[in-house]
A and B are shown apart, each in its own frame.
Chain A
C-alpha cells in the first residue's frame, strides 16, 4: 500500500515546490531583464569560465578568511556532493529502485562514503556558523532571522540525512553497502544493537526520508526570497564580474537626447548586473569589516548598502516588471537606509570589492548614486561647490589660476611639450604637484631624479588640466567629461610615447578611463618608472637620511591598479633602509581617507580615517612614513600633527626618499 502511494506524494511535493521555486526565480530573472540600463559583460569568456572555477569551485576569496572560509567551503562542497544523493532519493521516491546502485557497488559505495563524510563536514560547518553568530558575534556580522533560518535548514537537512541513512543501516544490517557509511554506519549499528526491529528501523528511515525531502523542498521555496539566494546568483555574478583589477567608472552618455535622468536615482536605474550584485550578496560582512567608513563610525556599511538596495529592489519589483517606474522614489532619501550621508561617506578605496567573495561592485552603486545627486538634484556636500567652481574656471580643485600651473618649476629648467613635443616621456604633474606646497617638493624631487637619469621629458605646463578624478568621483560627470575631453585633445595633439604621473589618481584616470574618450597611452606611476630606472642602473641609491620606514599603500595605486611592489622595490634598493610593514598592507591596506573626492570634503561624522591609519603607521616605530600619493601624504601629515609626533616622524613621498639617497 505504502509503496503504491509514495510515488504520488513524492511527485506532488516535488512538483508543487519546484513550481513555486521556478515561479519565484522567474520573477527574479524577469526583474533583471526588465531593467533598461545596459551593461556589457559578454567579453573574455575563457577568463570568465576560469574565474568561476577559481572563485566558485575553488572558493578563493571565501578562503581568505580562515575559519569561516573553511566552514563555508565544507558546506559548499558538501552540498554539491550531497545534492547528487538528494536528486537520487527524489527519483527513487517516484520510480522505486531507480538509483545510483545501478552503477554498481564499487562506484555507489564510494559515493556513499564520500557523501556520508561530507554530511558530517556540512554539519560541522553549520555548527561553526551557529557558534560564530551566537557566541563569537563579530561586529561586522548581522545575525537576523534569515541567517539563523538558513543555518537551521542546513542543520536539519544533515541531521535528517544521517537519520535516514542510520535507520537504513539498522533496517538491513546485512547489506554490503553498510560498510561505506562512515558516520551513519556507526549510528546504525548503535540503533541495531539497541534491539530495534528491522521493520521499525525501516519505518524510521522512511520518516527521516520524508523529513529530509520536505526540508529540501521547503528550503528550495525559501531561497528566492532570502539572502540565501546567493547560491543561485553568486555563480552567475562571478561569471559576469568586472575582470581584472583595474576598472573604469561607467561613462554616462550625457549627450543622449532621450535621457530623462542620469546616474542611479530610482532603483529601476540599476543595470541588470547591478541587480545581480544585489541577488548575490549573502551579507557575510567581509566588506564592512574592511571599510574605512564603517571602521570609523560613518553611516556607510557596504553590506548594509547592498542590503538596502535589495530591499528597495524587491519593494518595487512589481513596478519594474510592469515597466511603470515613473512614480518610483529615489533610492537615496531620508527614510530609506541609503541616506546622502551614506553615499558621501565612501572613499572609493575598493577594500569592499577586494574582499567580496562574489565580486559585488559596491563602488558602482556609490558612484552612480552620486552622479544622480549631483547632475539631477544639485545635491552634494557644500564644500564641493567651491571645488567644482575651481575645476570649471581654473581646471584644478584648489583656487589657483590656471596660468600659474607651471610656476612650481620656474627655476628648475623643465621643458614644456609645446617647445619639446618629441619628448620621450610626458610628465603629467597633476594639480597637487603643480599647486600644493608640500606636493611641489615631491614634483621637484621627481624632476631631480629624471634629470639625474637623463630622461628626456617635458611637462604640459598651462596646457595640463585636472585629470577629472575629483569631479568624477564626486558625481559631477558633466564637469569630469569636460576636463577629460580637453585633456584628451591635448594628449592626442602630442601623442606621447609614455605618460609619467606624479599622482595615483591621475595615473588611474589616464590609464583606465581615458580610453573610453579616445586616448590610449602607456601610463606609468612615478614609483614604477623610478624603480625601473634603478633596475636599469640609471639611478644608484646610496645611504640616505631615512633608516626606519613604513610604507602606506595608496588605494588608487594598489587596489585599483595592482601596483604594490614598485614603491617597495625603490625602498629596498636604498642601502641601510629598513621597511616595517603595517599590519594592514598591500591589498588589505587601510585608505588614508582622501579617495573618492573625500580629500575635498569635511569629515564630520565619526572618528577620522587618517588618524586611524596614522596610529597604525606610528605603531610600527618607523621614523618615516612613506607614501606614493599627494593626497595620502597630506592626510598622513595631518594625522602625524594631530598625534603631535611631527618632531619625531616625517611623512615623505617615496620619490623624495629616493632623491635624498642620490647625490
Chain B
C-alpha cells in the first residue's frame, strides 16, 4: 500500500522577502528554506497512518529546484520511507507542478492516499492539490482537520468559514490536504536524522515525465512588495473630537469609508 505526501519548500516565515533584479521573481540570497508548515501536518498525518497500517510505504514527493532535497530529508527524518525529487525550475506554476506530481506518482505506483498541505505559505495559491487530483482523476478534500481511515474509504472533517465543520466520506484512493490543527508534527530524533541522510532520493526529470518547462499556463509579469506599514497615529482630544477625527482620517487618508 503506497501513500504519498506532496510537499513544497518555502521561505521561512521570518525571512525578509526581496524582489530580484528581474522584477518578477524573489531574490533568494539570504533566504532560509523550510518545509511548508501545512505540508508538515501532511507528513505527520502520513506517518501516523503508517503507524496504524504497518504495511504502508510513505513516499515524499517534491517538485522544484535542487534545494528542495533538504525539505525531502526533513520528511524522511520525520519518518517517510522514500522520496522523489522532480527537477523543476524556480517559478514553475501550479499547473506544471501539479501535472508533474501526478505523473511522477502514477509512474511510481498506484496511490492509496495522497497527503499534502492545504496551501503553500509562499504564494498561497492552494491550487496544486486540487489540480493534481484532477489529473489523477481522484477525489480531493481540502482544509482537513481530522481523518478516520478504513480499508476502502476515509471519513474527513473539513473546516469551512466560521469554524463550521463539513463531514465527508471519500473512497480511496483520494487526496487529503491538511489544515493546521490536524496534528502536532513530531520533532525528528537524531538516529532518524542520521538515517535520513543516507536514504536515496530519487531524482526525476521533466523529460522522464513527458513534460517540458514550457508546459505552464501562468507566468509572472512583475512582483512588488507591499507598501511599508506607516507609523501608528494617536488621536487626542475628547471622545467626540476623537470620533470626528477618526472618521475624517478613514475617509480622506485611508479612503476606506
Contact = CB atoms under 8 A, between A and B. Distances in A.
B16 A401 contact: yes
A99 to B, nearest CB: 64
Interface in B1-22: 12-16
B187 interface: yes
Nearest to A402: B32
B190 A401 contact: no
A478 B14 CA distance: 23
Interface string B78-92: 000000000000000
Contacts of A403: 15-16, 30
A378 B186 contact: yes
Contacts of A404: 14, 16
A388 B12 contact: no
Contacts of B55: none
B14 A399 contact: yes
Given A393-B34, A478-B193, A378 B188 contact: yes
A262 B32 CA distance: 28
B82 to A, nearest CB: 21
A390 B187 CA distance: 13
Given A393-B34, A402-B32, A403-B30, A378 B14 contact: no
Nearest to B29: A403
A401 B189 contact: no
Interface in B129-160: none
Interface in A366-411: 374-378, 380, 382, 385, 388, 390, 393-394, 399-404
B191 interface: yes
Question: Which of B13, B187, B189 has the most CB atoms of chain A within a 10 A radius of its CB?
Answer: B187
Contacts of B124: none
A400 B14 contact: yes
A262 B192 CA distance: 13
Contacts of B191: 375-376
A393 B16 contact: no
A388 B189 CA distance: 13
Contact of A393 (B14, B190, B193): B14
Given A382-B184, A393-B34, A394-B32, A399 B190 contact: no
Question: Which of A377, A378, A385, A401 has the most CB atoms of chain B within a 10 A radius of its CB?
Answer: A401
Nearest to A400: B14
Question: Which of A380, A388, A394, A400 has the most CB atoms of chain B within a 10 A radius of its CB?
Answer: A394
A402 B30 CA distance: 9
B188 A401 contact: no
Contacts of A394: 12, 14, 32
Contacts of B30: 403, 462
Contacts of B190: 254, 262, 375-376, 478
A334 to B, nearest CB: 20
User: What does DSSP make chain A's interface, helix, strand, loop or mixed?
Assistant: helix
A462 B14 CA distance: 14
B187 A385 contact: yes
Contacts of A377: 189
Given A402-B32, A403-B30, A388 B187 contact: yes
A462 B184 CA distance: 31
Contacts of A478: 190, 193
B187 A376 contact: no
User: What does DSSP make chain B's interface, helix, strand, loop or mixed?
Assistant: loop
B142 to A, nearest CB: 25
Given A393-B32, A394-B32, A399 B186 contact: no
Contacts of A400: 14
Contacts of B184: 382
Contacts of A388: 187
A404 B193 CA distance: 29
A180 B158 CA distance: 95
Nearest to A377: B189
A385 B37 CA distance: 13
A388 B34 CA distance: 13
Nearest to B78: A378
A378 B187 CA distance: 6
Nearest to B17: A401
A393 B189 contact: no
Interface in A320-353: none
Nearest to B14: A401
A401 B186 contact: no
Contacts of A262: 190
B76 to A, nearest CB: 15
A400 B186 CA distance: 22
Interface in A470-526: 478
A167 to B, nearest CB: 69
Nearest to B33: A393
A401 B15 contact: yes
Given A382-B184, A393-B32, A403-B30, A376 B12 contact: no
Nearest to B189: A378
Contacts of B189: 375-378
A427 B158 CA distance: 52
A403 B30 CA distance: 7
A281 B25 CA distance: 65
Contacts of A374: 187
A401 B193 CA distance: 25
A401 B187 contact: no
Given A402-B32, A403-B30, A478-B193, A393 B12 contact: yes
Contacts of A382: 184
A464 to B, nearest CB: 14
A380 B187 CA distance: 10
A403 B14 CA distance: 9
A40 to B, nearest CB: 24
Nearest to B184: A382
A478 B77 CA distance: 14
A382 B186 CA distance: 10
B28 to A, nearest CB: 13
A403 B191 CA distance: 31
Interface in B158-194: 184, 186-191, 193
A250 to B, nearest CB: 15
A275 to B, nearest CB: 25
B70 to A, nearest CB: 11
A478 B187 CA distance: 12
A370 to B, nearest CB: 13
A443 B28 CA distance: 31
Interface string B15-51: 1100000000000001010100000000000000000
A262 B191 CA distance: 9
Nearest to B190: A375
Interface in A534-572: none
A94 B235 CA distance: 102
Contacts of B15: 401, 403
A376 B30 CA distance: 32
B13 A399 contact: yes
Contacts of A254: 190
Contacts of A376: 189-191
Interface in A264-299: none
Interface of A: 254, 262, 374-378, 380, 382, 385, 388, 390, 393-394, 399-404, 462, 478
Interface of B: 12-16, 30, 32, 34, 184, 186-191, 193
Q: Which 4 A-B pairs have the closest CB atoms?
A: A401-B14, A375-B190, A393-B12, A378-B187
19 contacts: A374-B187, A375-B189, A375-B190, A376-B191, A377-B189, A378-B186, A382-B184, A393-B32, A394-B12, A399-B13, A401-B12, A401-B15, A401-B16, A402-B32, A403-B15, A404-B14, A404-B16, A462-B30, A478-B193
Given A262-B190, A380-B187, A403-B16, 7 more contacts: A385-B187, A393-B12, A393-B34, A394-B14, A401-B12, A404-B16, A462-B30
